[in-house]
């Protein structure tokens, strides 16, 4: 999988240069978007071990993107997107018999837990674009690849919960919070699907709506083996857009 991600990243990087030199009648035109991501990096579907969601809260996730569009005609073209973004969220849930690792032994935790996920990425995407209403609306869809540049992934277990094996159960650690860190279990690369639209209310200014879904797991196979879960990113973006002439 890694070699395909590398090939895609190289292709996304060099195509804009080739496109610019190929057709000067329709030059590569640029736009920038700045806004916020909202969503979660979580198991899909929701695991049966989660019995109740007390609260889910988005964090402030700034996102910046630079997009170049090479039109083939008045409506159709290729877009090349370069991003710097943060994907993070938090949630407090109740779980029943969640698989955990305790000193190398597989055990099961039942009780309340808090999950905090925060990851920072740089990335690229290549998309097919189409214009509507005399270039006032631009819709696009395609593939993206993100590269991890930093992360904080923490799960806190309520010590008043219980751990058990097949026969016995006991309190985890009464009166405390047990903190577990999984930063090393986040994948360094992530392949995704993107669909979005830019709505321009003036010639240059507009609003961007975009949805990003992970096609590969955000967490490594070791995390899945440890917890029985694999996480995927699902985030929406809302921001302001400026289109250069």
Q: What is the pLDDT of residues 38-74, one digit of tens each?
A: 999 988 778 888 999 999 888 889 999 999 999 998 8
Q: Give the bridge partners for 64, in sequence order.
A: 34, 84
Using the predicted structure, report yes or no on whether residue 23 has a pLDDT greater than 50. Answer: no
| pLDDT number for residue 125 | 97
Check whether domain 2-243 has CATH 2.40.160.20, yes or no: yes
Instruction: Give the CA dihedral 222, 224, 227, 228, nearest 10 degrees.
Output: -150
Q: Where are the domains of the chain?
A: 2-243
Please list, in sequence order, all residues whose beta carbon lies within 8 angstroms of the beta carbon of residue 147, skipping any fewer than 6 positions away.
9, 121, 122, 123, 188, 189
pTM: 0.83
- What are the structure tokens assigned to 201, written together? 């209310």
User: Cα–Cα distance between 19 and 12 in angstroms, integer?
Assistant: 11
Q: What is the pLDDT of residues 168-214, one digit of tens each?
A: 788 888 889 999 999 999 999 999 999 999 999 999 999 999 999 99
User: Cα–Cα distance between 227 and 107 in angstroms, integer?
Assistant: 10
DSSP 49: T
| pLDDT number for residue 76 | 94
Q: How confident is the model at residue 7 (pLDDT cuts 50, 70, 90)?
A: very low
User: Cα–Cα distance between 218 and 100 in angstroms, integer?
Assistant: 19
Nearest CA to 69 among 58, 80, 61?
A: 80
């Amino acid at each position: 999988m890694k070699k395909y991600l590398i090939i895609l990243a190289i292709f996304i990087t060099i195509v804009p240069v080739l496109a610019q030199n190929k057709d000067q009648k329709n030059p590569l035109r640029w736009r920038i978007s700045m806004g916020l991501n909202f969503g979660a990096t979580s198991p899909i579907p929701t695991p049966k071990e989660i019995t109740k969601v007390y609260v889910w809260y988005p964090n402030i996730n700034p996102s910046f993107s630079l997009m170049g569009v090479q039109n083939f005609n008045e409506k159709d073209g290729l877009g090349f997107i370069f991003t710097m973004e943060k994907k993070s969220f938090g949630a407090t849930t109740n779980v029943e018999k969640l698989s955990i690792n305790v000193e190398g032994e597989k055990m099961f935790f039942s009780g309340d837990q808090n999950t905090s996920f925060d990851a920072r990425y740089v990335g690229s995407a290549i998309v097919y674009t189409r214009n509507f209403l005399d270039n006032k609306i631009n819709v696009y869809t395609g593939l993206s690849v993100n590269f991890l540049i930093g992360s904080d992934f923490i799960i806190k277990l309520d010590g008043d919960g219980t751990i058990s094996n097949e026969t016995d159960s006991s309190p985890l650690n009464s009166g405390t919070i047990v903190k577990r860190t999984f930063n090393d279990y986040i994948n360094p690369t992530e392949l995704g699907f993107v669909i979005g639209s830019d709505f321009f209310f003036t010639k240059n200014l507009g609003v961007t709506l975009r949805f990003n879904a992970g096609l590969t797991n955000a967490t490594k196979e070791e995390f899945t083996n440890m917890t029985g879960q694999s996480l995927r990113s699902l985030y929406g973006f809302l921001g302001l857009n400026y289109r250069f002439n």
